[in-house]
């Protein structure tokens, strides 16, 4: 979201490498609690398994997790346990188990259960399959790679397709095409003949072919350096390609030696290049950890979850231990635990949404799930946000003991020597806290004078009364910020006057789910005092009731909410040193989300969302946090970190030291968008500062064509994006009735100009196999009208 570390980034991400064991395949016993018999199965990955038996296929991109040993699912049915060898003294039976977790959302997931012949085979499959499933480069592959994947899937599923055709009476005599004969080049040729691409022909002609069936080396050099190169890049650090580099590209994609001898490429080769990895719409290094991870915690946006245990609504429905695993696996780094006192005879602390009809789950099982999954996809620190209602000293002691024993050395109990809990001391960095779990909970203080504020942490003032104890800090911020953004007519402000109308609608829509509820004694929001055992686990992050910006503001000393209403700049200043957490309104029934962008714009670090609801706010959150290695941490822009810089989130003017951008995007065509014969259309939105948020541009609806529609329309223009480092471009595809098909959310700072394919993703940010859009983009430094001698295209705004 913010700028990367200075200099050219050397890509650290590793491409997909399939382990030899996975290539060869292994024999497993596949079991299920409901099955009356056990089935032998062969497991394969990218290699294709042709068998007379029906083949089950799970797309690796839909695999959420793999588990073995004590973390795998254990059979409960006695007959299954007997067949698998439980209770027969056959060694470590659990070590041979493998569970594959897959699904298209975080709630409705499925489990495939296997038992390997040897423990080492189970271990290899569990580790290597997880690497493949979570490989960011693989999930953001080129169009060519997804087409190749479609071929393999087609051959893998051959018998099922043939069977369906036979049952329909459509296949009398089989004509077999061997995979070895159906090469990539032949598939490309087949595809080009099956789906004619007039728009590619026009581009080819436009580039100077002049009716000839080829482009020369010089024409390709000009095309790549003039049309496809990002003009914002420093030419010293990122020099234009040289002739030899372009020739190497031509050699990679051109299969005709005679063309290469003449320094030429064909139309089909040009089409291959457009879909190749070198021409991705976002450079691969953007998915790597590019940010400086040595800044204080308060300098980062932190991927955060609200009421993590819930699977449906806020008042009814099941709570789930599995949700903690699933949320952590997305890269989320701040999760919430609502802790309540368990009933006799066990008196085990539980997690639930208090005073509702949601179910209860054991606190201990949640801690075990967190320990298992905390660092599987990101090594950076995890924050456990406790809402502690356990008014039992004994059960709080149990909670503390579970945390200590289960987390072990991963639990940060004592502050780092370099960062003592002292006034003016900044917070440690994500790098220094790597592999650590931090607990955010109230803390018991033994003295009554005001506790000095730890310069980078959220600290509670000792001696606060019961009113403070009943009011968590975080909801106050949500209410406060909305007070800033949603002034009443009696209190007009400069900030409100400059908010565009479409942005006001967004704020009003999210107001209902962001308000802070009234906290009173005896409600689900009343927290209890921490015991000594729980207090010892709390160090850098302790909730306090928000009273003013005095704690962290360096330049402006204001008190109370009145100052906040008129000074959003102060909130930005506050978040330079302090951690703030925003969460949805606690009195709502459904689990809809507010737009996190509103709070990122003022530097709030932990903007907590309901991960079970894959609405637009959640889609934005998942997409934004996919970058920087899916680490769960994104470095805030520099002016949101430096104390000598001030920033007004409502500005329409150029920010000092920041170059605004102009962004243009033309939707050229679509490919294999859906298997339905329906009309489709594309929407393009920009999310960012109020001045940058533009919704929404839309193409015309195609005429019952979802296979290969072509849109011959003008480009959509965002003439001035004030803050590109906080702006994201969303390209979304819908059926003519408004049903969502897929989308892609792209950071403006990483957007490459030129002709590119955008491979679409579903609402969980998983890649769709074939659906893609060919677009033409222009991203350049913004030039005011008076300097460019012409009027900008303001009439494009919707």
**Pair 366, 509 in one domain:** yes
Q: Report the CATH number at residue 126.
A: 2.30.29.240
Contact (Cβ atoms closer than 8 angstroms) between residue 736 and residue 696: no
**Pair 117, 82 in one domain:** yes
Residue 457 is inside which H or E element, if any?
none
**How far is Cα 324 from Cα 379, in angstroms, rounded to an integer?**
16
Report, as an integer, the average pLDDT of 68-95: 87
Report, as an integer, the average pLDDT of 529-552: 76
Contact (Cβ atoms closer than 8 angstroms) between residue 289 and residue 377: no
Query: Given phi > 0 = left and psi -120 to 50 = alpha, else beta, which region is 501?
Result: alpha
User: What is the crossing angle of helices 243-253 and 267-274, to 10°?
Assistant: 100
Q: What is the pLDDT of residue 7?
A: 62
From residue 308, alpha-carbon distances to 190, 611, 612, 766, 767 in Å are 48, 7, 8, 21, 25
Tell whether the model's pLDDT for residue 336 goes beyond 80. Answer: yes
Residue 148 lies in a domain: no
Residue 537 lies in a domain: yes
**How far is Cα 335 from Cα 369, in angstroms, rounded to an integer?**
12
Last residue of a domain, one of 582, 606, 640: 640
**Pair 260, 303 in one domain:** no
Last residue of a domain, one of 217, 252, 279: 279
**How far is Cα 543 from Cα 559, in angstroms, rounded to an integer?**
18
What is the per-residue pLDDT across 504-529, written as a single tens digit (0 to 9) for each?
454 444 433 333 322 223 334 568 88
Residue 395 lies in a domain: yes
Domains identified in the chain, total number = 4
Q: What is the pLDDT of residue 508?
A: 43
What is the per-residue pLDDT across 746-763, written as a single tens digit (0 to 9) for each?
999 999 999 999 999 999
**Pair 200, 124 in one domain:** no
Select which of 353, 519, 743, 756 is catalytic.
353
What is the per-residue pLDDT across 259-275, written as a single tens digit (0 to 9) for each?
999 999 999 999 999 99
**Pair 465, 419 in one domain:** yes
Q: What is the pLDDT of residue 334?
A: 97
Contact (Cβ atoms closer than 8 angstroms) between residue 669 and residue 325: no
Q: Report the CATH number at residue 208.
A: 1.10.238.10
Residue 9 lies in a domain: no
**Pair 329, 433 in one domain:** yes
**How far is Cα 779 from Cα 715, in angstroms, rounded to an integer?**
12
Residue 394 lies in a domain: yes
Tell whether the model's pLDDT for residue 409 goes beyond 80. Answer: yes
Q: Could you give the angle at the alpha carbon of 49 between the alpha carbons of 44 and 53, nearest 5°?
A: 110
Q: Name the least confident of 322-336, 499-513, 602-616.
A: 499-513
Q: Are strands 316-317 and 361-362 parallel, antiparallel or unpaired?
A: unpaired
User: What is the crossing angle of helices 473-485 and 568-577, to 10°?
Assistant: 150
Give burial (CB, 10 Å; 0-12/13-18/19+) of 25.
middle
**Pair 216, 333 in one domain:** no
Report, as an integer, the average pLDDT of 101-115: 94
**Pair 252, 309 in one domain:** no
**Pair 748, 706 in one domain:** yes
**Pair 247, 311 in one domain:** no
- Residue 345, preceding bond cis, omega within 30 degrees? yes
Last residue of a domain, one of 92, 112, 134: 134
In eight-state DSSP terms, residue 227 is I
Closest by CA position to 323, among listed 373, 282, 358: 373
pLDDT confidence band for 176 (50 / 70 / 90): low
Of residues 289 and 784, more confidence is placed in: 289
Q: What is the pLDDT of residue 39?
A: 62
Report, as an integer, the average pLDDT of 60-65: 93
pLDDT confidence band for 162 (50 / 70 / 90): low
Q: Is 449 a catalytic residue?
A: no
Of residues 782 and 314, more confidence is placed in: 782
Residue 190 lies in a domain: no
Helix (H, G, I), strand (E, B) or coil at 667: strand
**Pair 682, 710 in one domain:** yes
Q: Report the CATH number at residue 515.
A: 3.20.20.190
State which residues form the domain around 725: 661-796
Residue 176 lies in a domain: no
pTM of the model: 0.85
**How far is Cα 571 from Cα 567, in angstroms, rounded to an integer?**
7
Tell whether the model's pLDDT for residue 478 goes beyond 70. Answer: no
Residue 625 lies in a domain: yes
**Pair 632, 760 in one domain:** no
Select which of 102, 299, 306, 756 is catalytic.
306
Q: Is 353 a catalytic residue?
A: yes
Q: Report the CATH number at residue 689.
A: 2.60.40.150
Closest by CA position to 505, among listed 693, 747, 296: 693
């Amino acid at each position: 979201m913010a700028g990367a570390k200075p200099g050219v980034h050397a890509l650290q991400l590793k491409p997909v490498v399939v382990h030899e064991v996975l290539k060869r395949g292994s024999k497993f016993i596949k079991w299920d609690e409901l099955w009356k018999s056990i089935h032998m199965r062969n497991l394969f990955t990218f290699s294709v398994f042709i068998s007379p038996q029906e083949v089950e296929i799970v797309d690796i991109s839909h695999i959420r997790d793999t588990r073995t040993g004590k973390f795998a699912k254990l059979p409960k049915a006695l007959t299954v346990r007997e067949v698998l060898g439980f209770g027969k003294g056959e060694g470590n039976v659990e070590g041979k188990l493998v569970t594959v977790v897959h699904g298209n959302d975080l709630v409705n997931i499925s489990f495939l259960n296997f038992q390997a012949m040897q423990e080492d085979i189970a271990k290899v499959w569990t580790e290597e399959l997880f690497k493949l499933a979570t490989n960011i480069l693989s999930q953001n592959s080129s169009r060519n790679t997804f087409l190749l994947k479609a071929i393999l899937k087609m051959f893998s599923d051959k018998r099922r397709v043939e069977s369906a055709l036979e049952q329909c009476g459509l296949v009398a005599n089989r004509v077999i095409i061997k995979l070895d004969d159906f090469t990539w080049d032949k598939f490309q040729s087949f595809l080009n003949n099956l789906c004619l691409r007039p728009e590619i022909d026009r581009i080819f002609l436009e580039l100077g072919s002049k009716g000839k069936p080829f482009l020369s080396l010089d024409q390709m050099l000009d095309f790549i350096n003039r049309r496809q190169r990002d003009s914002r890049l420093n030419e010293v650090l990122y020099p234009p390609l040289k002739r030899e580099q372009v020739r190497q590209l031509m050699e990679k994609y051109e299969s005709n030696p005679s063309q290469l001898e003449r320094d030429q490429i064909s139309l089909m080769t040009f089409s291959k290049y457009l879909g190749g990895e070198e021409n991705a719409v976002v450079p691969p290094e953007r998915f790597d950890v590019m940010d400086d991870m040595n800044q204080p915690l308060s300098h980062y946006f932190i991927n955060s979850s609200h009421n993590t245990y819930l699977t449906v609504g806020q008042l009814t429905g099941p709570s789930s231990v599995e949700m903690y695993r699933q949320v952590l696996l997305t890269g989320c780094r701040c999760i919430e635990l609502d802790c309540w006192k368990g009933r006799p005879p066990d008196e085990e602390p539980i997690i639930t949404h208090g005073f509702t009809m949601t179910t209860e789950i054991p606190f201990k099982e949640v801690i075990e799930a967190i320990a298992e999954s905390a660092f599987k996809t990101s090594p950076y620190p995890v924050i456990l946000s406790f809402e502690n209602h356990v008014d039992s000293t004994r059960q709080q002691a149990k909670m503390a003991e579970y945390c200590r024993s289960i987390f072990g050395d991963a639990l940060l109990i004592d502050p780092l020597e370099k960062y003592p809990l002292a006034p003016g001391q900044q917070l440690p960095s994500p790098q220094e806290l790597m592999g650590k779990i931090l607990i955010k909970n109230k803390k018991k203080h033994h003295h009554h004078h005001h506790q000095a504020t730890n310069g980078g942490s959220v600290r509670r003032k000792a001696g606060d009364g019961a009113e403070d104890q009943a009011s968590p800090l975080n909801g106050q911020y949500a209410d406060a910020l909305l007070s800033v953004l949603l002034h009443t007519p009696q209190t007009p402000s400069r900030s409100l006057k400059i908010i565009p109308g479409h942005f006001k609608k967004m704020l009003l829509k999210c107001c209902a789910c962001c308000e802070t509820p009234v906290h009173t004694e005896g409600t689900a929001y009343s927290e209890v005092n921490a015991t000594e055992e729980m207090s010892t686990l709390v160090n850098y992050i302790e909730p306090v009731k928000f009273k003013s910006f005095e704690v962290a503001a360096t330049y402006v000393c204001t008190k109370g909410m009145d100052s906040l209403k008129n000074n959003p700049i102060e909130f930005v200043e506050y978040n330079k040193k302090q951690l703030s957490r925003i969460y949805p309104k606690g009195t709502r029934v459904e689990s809809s989300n507010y737009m996190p962008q509103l709070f990122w714009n003022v530097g709030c670090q932990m903007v907590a969302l309901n991960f079970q609801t894959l609405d637009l706010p959640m889609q934005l959150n998942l997409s934004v946090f996919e970058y920087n290695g899916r680490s769960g941490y994104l470095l805030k822009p520099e002016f949101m970190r430096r104390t000598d810089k001030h920033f007004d989130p409502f500005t329409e003017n150029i920010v000092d030291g920041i170059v605004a951008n102009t962004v243009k995007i033309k939707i050229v065509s679509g490919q294999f968008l859906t298997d339905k014969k329906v009309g489709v259309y594309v929407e393009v939105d920009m999310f960012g500062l109020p001045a940058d948020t533009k919704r929404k541009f839309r193409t015309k609806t195609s005429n019952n064509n979802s296979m290969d529609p072509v849109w011959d329309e003008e480009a959509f223009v965002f003439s001035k994006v004030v803050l590109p480092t906080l702006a994201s471009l969303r390209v979304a595809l819908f059926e003519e009735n408004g049903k969502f098909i897929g989308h892609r959310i792209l950071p403006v700072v990483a957007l490459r100009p030129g002709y590119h394919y955008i491979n679409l993703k579903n609402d969980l940010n998983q890649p769709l196999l074939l659906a893609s859009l060919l677009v033409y983009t222009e991203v350049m430094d913004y030039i005011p009208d008076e300097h460019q001698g012409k009027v900008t295209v303001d009439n494009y705004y919707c």
